[in-house]
Amino acid sequence: MNKHIGRRDLLRAGGWGLAAATAGSLFGACGAGGRPGGSSEVGITGNTVKIGAHFPLTGVAAPGYSDIPTGTKAYFDYVNAHGGVNGRKIEYIFRDDAYNPSNTSQVVNELVLQDQVFAIVGGLGTAPHSAVLDFLNSEGVPDLFVSSGSLLWDQPKKNPYTFGWQPDYEVEGKIIGRYVHRNMPNARVGLFLQDDDFGDDGEKGARAYLGDQVVAAQRYVSGNTDVAPQIAALQAAGADLVLGFNVPSYTALSQLASLKLNYRPQWFYSNVGSDPALVGSLLSRFSKGEVSGASMLDGVITTEYLAGVEEADDPWVELWQQVWDAHGGEGELTNFRLYGMAEAYTFVQTLQAAGPDPTRDGLVAALEKVGAELQGPGLAPFRYSGDSHAGMAGVKVSRLAGNSTEKLSPVFVTDNGKAEITEYTGRNPGPPPNGIPSVEPVG
Amino acid sequence: MVSLVAGVRRRLPASTLGRNLLLVLAALVVVVLLLELTDPFRNSQLATMSYYAIAAAGLTVLTGLNGQISLGHGALMAVGAYAMGLLLNTGVVPFPLAMLAAAAVTAVVGVVVGAAAARLHGPYLAGATLALAIGVPGLAIHFDGVFGGEQGLQISSPRPPDWFADVIYFLFANEAGSAKYFAYIGWLTLLAVLLLLSNLVASRYGRVWRAIRDDEVAAELAGVPLGRLRVLAFVVSAACAGLAGAVLGIVVRLAAPSGFTIVLSLSLLTAVVVGGLGSLGGALLGSALLVFLPPAVTGLGMQAGLTGVQAAQLAPLAYGVVLVTVMLLAPGGAMGIARALWHARPRRRFAQQPANTHRMDEEPSTTDATEPGGRT
């Protein structure tokens, strides 16, 4: 910075001619003193921390996803009601991008430049968030816990301020692949994939273990609602287990298509596409009421990395329910709200780790240092370190049964690429009694 | 007030080019002042407005002056943005060249689409261009090796060069971040486009386009080659959309299918209609509405005590209400009202000219402009 000032001062002193100099002094008066010193950290005052996020609150992606920030906000309100973090209340601003990257770029500009947030927490969507990755990292804004399982968030060299949160799709695919290979060695596996990095990463992970068990792989393009050809092709290939890396609306569409074709394989949906409540409501909407609710998903296998609302006696879910009852707005506690609360919990931990006077760089450094040891609602630990900004390391496999889930496997953890899959032996101690973490500041 | 307007009008240069140049120069001064007096966030909003305005200006020439409706301009912007991304990511093409190339590529697409469009009318034309809006983002997903698929193509936007930061600091003692740099790129492009279009509109081509819009049979009897001129209008409009896409690529730093949905095409059309069909100034006003209205409404909603989600949902509603209100109360759009003021006094200097040439501007054909509805 100092180098630039010197050069500009020289330029200014030298002058480029009368007209320019006049203009310079005229307009200079407007902008003089416009170089703020970096005395205090952006977004932090003595008693507040301001953070922001972008979510689709309107448009096609809004159902379900627009619940997430309401959960996050409820948990922050809960923390604020208990005195905040180091005496600071968390101000949480979330803005609508309608899942459109051009809008994301606008609202994140607004959050960073206008609202002057300290950090972005939980911004949702692979394509929308890609649009602001470069901006946030060049501005040095911590970009924590992107709500997407893409591998893009784990590039600490290129994007030092960006961190993933949920297990990425490749890790999930690997664990699913090995589970199927070990427990259903005779299954003829068909893959039903979204035609983007979500499907690609998942397929890569699954194929690493399934090898020649895969008899067909069919892709659908998001936006094309006719998936009958893909389902028919899986049926024709004789697949008796269909593994879906797809979003919730395509879980509903694939179920309806297979119903029409009288095709009844064992279904195995990855975590993203398996929320029973949302899929159930989509099913009855798409079929105009002919198929009712979540009952169709009975027996479907899926994966989990957080306890869901149906596990009402899980201590974490009890905490979330308590938070939602006290600080939530309208509506029920859903898995999406729970996801938002869990992200908020991890942020509170990170802020505590950054100490009493957090800075943007300090926040990132603290997360790299203690991130892998954080105990929270996640079933598997995070992989954060100086060399990795990847989120949770694993998932467990479970089966949907009525309004609950049945555990099929312990939590497995692994890493990207050739890393082995191991059983996670750590025990989740449950939430602290007051529901607020207490992480020691890093030295 | 009215006499002041008349006084200003008398002092404008007589030639169209001179008048337009003068206007653009004045606009340039205003733009520089605006960008230097506002904060980086307003700069970034103005950058966004610039690419909407470039596309809307092109669309208003096509729809307002030539009477061809297009629901596919969002897709043409996508062509421009992807072309821009592919060129910039090579790392060797300087961005002004890449912008021109993006406009040229989109113009070529415009020739193909325009040739088909020239044979169609009304709802059929709307349908054909709608197909374009739906189809083009699909291509980006299908050829994901080149275009990055669903997650999009990241674009390495130009960084503000040192000389730019130096000049800005020297003149205004302001910091020049990338938001400001992009805003300057966008607005200089926009002013150039407006200058070219306003001359074109006032030229023989503009007159012939209007003639075709108002009565095809009469125009053909007068010796106007209908097809060729309609294609030309489409190509000019497409080139603008391509240029807009190129600026979008720089500003957003990403070209992804979800950025170019049918909503974008419809937003452009509503901007053009609300601003005043056929008027370049109207395109500018309409784009300003696209950018500034949603955050303003959301802000008001939050102040009124709505939750974040409710406030966000208010924005599309307000947008729809504005559109319906304008259609009911001022079908000529914002510029229709402004023009009514401008022409309120009987004219002296232009009294000799046939009144028709002006009347055409005042009454843009709205027959082809089916209501595009609110933002869905």
pLDDT in tens, chain A (443 residues): 344 444 444 444 333 333 433 343 334 334 333 334 344 688 998 899 999 999 999 887 888 889 999 999 999 999 999 999 999 999 999 999 988 899 999 999 999 998 999 999 999 988 899 999 999 999 999 999 999 999 999 999 999 999 999 999 999 999 999 999 999 999 999 999 988 888 999 999 999 999 889 999 999 877 778 999 999 999 999 999 999 999 888 999 999 999 999 999 999 999 988 888 888 888 888 888 777 666 778 889 999 999 988 888 899 999 999 999 999 878 889 999 999 999 999 999 999 999 999 999 999 999 999 999 999 999 999 999 999 999 999 999 999 887 778 889 999 999 998 889 999 988 888 899 999 999 989 86
- Least confident residue range of A201-205, A209-213, B172-176, B319-323: B172-176
Question: Quick one: pLDDT at residue A120?
Answer: 96
Residue A114 has its nearest CB partner, among B41, B253, B376, at B41
Task: Answer whether B263 touches A (CB < 8 Å).
Answer: yes
* CATH number of domain containing B333: 1.10.3470
Place of tokens 């290939």: A237
Residue B259 has its nearest CB partner, among A27, A31, A100, at A100
Question: Quick one: pLDDT at residue B347?
Answer: 55
Residues of B in contact with A30 (CB under 8 A): 36-37, 172-173
Query: CB distance A105–B254 less than 8 Å?
Result: yes
Task: Answer whether A158 touches B (CB < 8 Å).
Answer: no
Closest residue by Cα to residue B241 from B213, B206, B269, B208: B269
Residues of A in contact with B309 (CB under 8 A): 57, 66, 69-70
Q: Tell me whether the CATH fold assigned to A48-166+310-392 matches the one assigned to A169-304.
A: yes
According to DSSP, the residues that pair with B254 across neighbouring strands are B154
d(CA A175, CA A135): 34
At residue B369 the predicted structure's pLDDT band, cuts being 50, 70 and 90, is very low
Query: CB distance A222–B171 less than 8 Å?
Result: no
Place of tokens 């790392």: B91
Interface of A with B in 80-99 (CB under 8 A): 93-96, 98-99
Query: CB distance B258–A99 less than 8 Å?
Result: yes
* Residues contacting B149, CB < 8 A, separation 6+: A195, A196, A197, B140, B141
Query: CB distance B36–A27 less than 8 Å?
Result: yes
Q: Distances from the Cα of B6 to the Cαs of B20, B144, B198, in angstroms?
A: 18, 58, 21
Flag whether B10 is in a domain: no
For domain A48-166+310-392, give the fold.
Rossmann fold (3.40.50)
- Contact indicator for A121, A53 with CB cutoff of 8 Å: yes
At residue B4 the predicted structure's pLDDT band, cuts being 50, 70 and 90, is low
Which residue in A has a C-alpha nearest to residue B260's C-alpha? A100
Question: Quick one: pLDDT at residue A317?
Answer: 94
Question: Quick one: pLDDT at residue B8?
Answer: 66
Amino acid at the residue A349: Q
- Contact indicator for A76, A119 with CB cutoff of 8 Å: no
Interface of A with B in 29-68 (CB under 8 A): 30-32, 34-35, 57-59, 66
The token pair that represents B313 in the structure block:
């949902």
**Which pLDDT tens digit goes with each residue over B31-47?**
999 988 888 889 999 99
Which residue in A has a C-alpha nearest to residue B170's C-alpha? A12
DSSP A256-307: HHHHHTT--PEEEE-GGG--HHHHHHHHHHHTTTSS-GGGGGTT-EEEESS-
d(CA B184, CA A334): 45
Average pLDDT of B289-313?
Answer: 88
The highest-confidence range among A61-75, B108-122, B184-198, B351-365, by mean pLDDT, is B184-198
Residue B173 has its nearest CB partner, among A28, A109, A127, at A28
According to DSSP, the residues that pair with A298 across neighbouring strands are none
Query: CB distance B308–A222 less than 8 Å?
Result: no
Residues of B in contact with A135 (CB under 8 A): 178, 253
Q: What's the whole-number average pLDDT of chain B?
A: 85
How close, in Å, is residue B254 to chain A by CA atoms?
A: 5
DSSP B143-188: THHHH-GGG-EE--PPPPPHHHHHHHHHHH-----HHHHHHHHHHH
Q: Is A365 helix (H, G, I), strand (E, B) or coil?
A: helix
Question: Quick one: pLDDT at residue B336?
Answer: 84
Strands A394-401 and A412-413: antiparallel
Strands A266-269 and A241-245: parallel
- Contact indicator for A145, A163 with CB cutoff of 8 Å: yes
Which residue in B has a C-alpha nearest to residue A58's C-alpha? B313
Strands A214-220 and A189-194: parallel
Question: Quick one: pLDDT at residue B358?
Answer: 43
Interface of A with B in 108-137 (CB under 8 A): 109-110, 113-114, 126-128, 130-131, 133-135
Closest residue by Cα to residue B197 from B248, B236, B241: B236
Interface of B with A in 282-341 (CB under 8 A): 291, 295, 298, 307-309, 312-313, 315-316
- Contact indicator for A329, B307 with CB cutoff of 8 Å: yes
Strands B254-255 and A48-55: unpaired
Q: How many CB pairs under 8 A join A and B?
A: 157
**Which pLDDT tens digit goes with each residue over B325-368?**
888 888 888 888 888 887 776 555 554 444 444 444 444 444 44
Closest residue by Cα to residue A183 from A266, A239, A307, A244: A266
Task: Answer whether B53 touches A (CB < 8 Å).
Answer: no
Q: Distances from the Cα of A23 to the Cαs of A15, B22, B23, B28, in angstroms?
A: 11, 20, 21, 15
Task: Answer whether A421 touches B (CB < 8 Å).
Answer: no
Flag whether B368 is in a domain: no
DSSP A35-59: -----S-TTB-SSEEEEEEEE--SS
Residues of B in contact with A99 (CB under 8 A): 258
Considering the segment(s) A169-304 as one domain, its CATH architecture is: 3-Layer(aba) Sandwich (3.40)
Query: CB distance B150–A222 less than 8 Å?
Result: yes
d(CA A394, CA B355): 76
Task: Answer whether B40 touches A (CB < 8 Å).
Answer: yes
Interface of B with A in 150-189 (CB under 8 A): 150-152, 154, 157, 165-166, 169-175, 178-179
How close, in Å, is residue B152 to chain A by CA atoms?
A: 6
Q: Distances from the Cα of A77 to the Cαs of A47, A82, A86, in angstroms?
A: 14, 9, 15
d(CA A72, CA A90): 11
Place of tokens 């592919």: B86
Domain coordinates in residue numbering, chain A: 48-166+310-392, 169-304
Question: Quick one: pLDDT at residue A290?
Answer: 77
The token pair that represents B172 in the structure block:
């205004």
B148: left (phi over 0), alpha (psi -120 to 50) or beta: left
Q: Could you give the number of structural domains in chain B?
A: 1
Q: Distances from the Cα of B356 to the Cαs of B6, B218, B332, B359, in angstroms?
A: 20, 16, 17, 5
Residues of A in contact with B258 (CB under 8 A): 99-101, 127-128
Host domain of residue B334: 15-362
Flag whether B5 is in a domain: no
Q: Which residue of B44, B136, B151 is the best one to mutate when testing the A interface, meaning the one whose CB has the most A CBs within 10 A?
A: B151
Residue A8 has its nearest CB partner, among B142, B166, B251, at B166
- Contact indicator for B24, B265 with CB cutoff of 8 Å: no
Question: Quick one: pLDDT at residue B371?
Answer: 38
Question: Quick one: pLDDT at residue B152?
Answer: 87
At residue B2 the predicted structure's pLDDT band, cuts being 50, 70 and 90, is low
Residue B173 has its nearest CB partner, among A31, A59, A224, at A31
Strands A241-245 and A189-194: parallel
According to DSSP, the residues that pair with A219 across neighbouring strands are A193
